[in-house]
Amino acid sequence: DAGVTQSPTHLIKTRGQQVTLRCSPKSGHDTVSWYQQALGQGPQFIFQYYEEEERQRGNFPDRFSGHQFPNYSSELNVNALLLGDSALYLCASSPGWARANTEAFFGQGTRLTVV
Amino acid sequence: DAKTTQPNSMESNEEEPVHLPCNHSTISGTDYIHWYRQLPSQGPEYVIHGLTSNVNNRMASLAIAEDRKSSTLILHRATLRDAAVYYCILRNTGGFKTIFGAGTRLFVKA
């Protein structure tokens, strides 16, 4: 089992550009959550997808959007990039979106640098 | 969403037990207490979780106070590989939105 796979691992973009990050969940997991982690901080929840719909959202602007595909994989899109969007973006998968007693698996993250 | 409070950092000697505290005074009756850790340059890794009773697994033990307003993660014998940031998180069955705090950075001395 490959666990949670994220691509790319590193990315450099220019202010104002758009970026798409990808996540393949662990086998058997149908719920995907995305987090932003600035240097030296804890992960901040962006949103969660289940059954191809956004189920929960954190305090992030509409520039951040996502998608979940029928095979449970997911994408995170960020439009009009700002310097402050530079961070590690983490994807986590878990089974069953409303189950709180399950283990979530995280990917290694995508390091986004905006210049 | 309920929040947790942890010390910014702790230090331990190798081979000694480590007790990492977490306060969650606003915990609700359906919140599960989860612990994750994050090693340098890696994503967070699940450690343990519990609801009311103390829990043990191969990595650690979780001691939950009777009123559930605090908990303690216990690493029985710290190793250098346990040096990481440890996060105490509350998760609810009514919809999952994990809130991570700043965590506790654990330093392990040889």
- Encode pLDDT of B30-71 as tens digits: 889 999 999 988 999 999 999 999 999 999 999 999 999 999
The per-residue pLDDT for B100 is 82
Distance between A65 CA and the closest CA of chain B, angstroms: 17
The per-residue pLDDT for B3 is 82
For residues A62 and B55, give the distance between their C-alpha atoms in angstroms, rounded to a whole number: 40
> Is A98 part of the contact surface with chain B (CB cutoff 8 Å)?
yes
Helix, strand, or coil (residue A50): strand
Nearest CA in chain B to A103: B46
Model confidence pLDDT, tens digit, residues A2-34 = 799 999 999 999 999 999 999 999 999 999 999
Identify the bridge partners of residue B85 per DSSP, sorted by sequence position: B38, B105
Determine contact, residues A63/A79, Cβ cutoff 8 Å.
Answer: yes
How many A×B Cβ pairs under 8 Å? 65
For residues B46 and B30, give the distance between their C-alpha atoms in angstroms, rounded to a whole number: 20
Task: Count the neighbouring beta carbons within 10 Å of the beta carbon of residue B95.
Answer: 12
Listed as own residue / partner, the contacts of A55-58 with beta carbons closer than 8 Å and 24 or more positions apart are: A55/A31, A55/A97, A55/B95, A56/B95, A56/B96, A56/B97, A58/B97
> Is B44 part of the contact surface with chain A (CB cutoff 8 Å)?
yes
Length, in residues, of chain B: 110
Determine contact, residues A58/A44, Cβ cutoff 8 Å.
Answer: yes
The per-residue pLDDT for A96 is 82
Length, in residues, of chain A: 115
Nearest in space to B60 (alpha carbons), one of B70, B49, B47? B47
Nearest in space to B77 (alpha carbons), one of B26, B18, B6? B18
CB contact (8 A) between residue A100 and residue B96:
yes
The per-residue pLDDT for A20 is 98
> Is A86 part of the contact surface with chain B (CB cutoff 8 Å)?
no
Assign B94 a pLDDT band (cuts: 50, 70, 90): low
Nearest CA in chain A to B91: A100
